[in-house]
A and B are shown apart, each in its own frame.
Chain A
Amino acid sequence: GESVGLHLPTLSVQEGDNSIINCAYSNSASDYFIWYKQESGKGPQFIIDIRSNMDKRQGQRVTVLLNKTVKHLSLQIAATQPGDSAVYFCAETPSGSARQLTFGSGTQLTVLP
Chain B
Amino acid sequence: EPEVTQTPSHQVTQMGQEVILHCVPISNHLYFYWYRQILGQKVEFLVSFYNNEISEKSEIFDDQFSVERPDGSNFTLKIRSTKLEDSAMYFCASTTSGEASPLHFGNGTRLTVT
Q: Which residues of A contact B41 (CB under 8 A)?
A: 5-6
| A-B residue pair count with CB separations less than 8 angstroms | 67
Q: Which residues of B contact A101 (CB under 8 A)?
A: 35, 43, 45, 103
Q: Which residues of A contact B93 (CB under 8 A)?
A: 43
Contact digits for B45-56, partner A, Cβ 8 Å, 1 yes 0 no: 100101000011
B interface residues, Cβ below 8 angstroms from A:
4, 6, 31, 33, 35, 38-45, 48, 50, 55-56, 58, 91, 93, 95, 98-108
**10 further interface pairs, Cβ-Cβ under 8 Å (given A46-B103, A100-B58):** A43-B4, A43-B106, A44-B43, A51-B100, A97-B56, A98-B50, A98-B98, A99-B33, A99-B103, A103-B43
How long is the Cα–Cα vector from A44 to B106 in the complex, in angstroms?
8
* A99 B43 Cβ-Cβ under 8 A: no
How long is the Cα–Cα vector from A42 to B108 in the complex, in angstroms?
7
* B40 A4 Cβ-Cβ under 8 A: yes
Contact digits for A12-51, partner B, Cβ 8 Å, 1 yes 0 no: 0000000000000000000010101000011111100101
- Minimum CB–CB distance for A95 against chain B, Å: 8
* A5 B43 Cβ-Cβ under 8 A: no
How long is the Cα–Cα vector from A60 to B6 in the complex, in angstroms?
28
Question: Could you write out 19 A-B pairs with CB less than 8 Å apart?
Answer: A5-B38, A41-B107, A42-B108, A43-B4, A43-B108, A46-B103, A46-B104, A89-B42, A89-B43, A91-B43, A98-B48, A98-B50, A98-B56, A99-B31, A100-B45, A100-B48, A101-B35, A101-B45, A103-B44
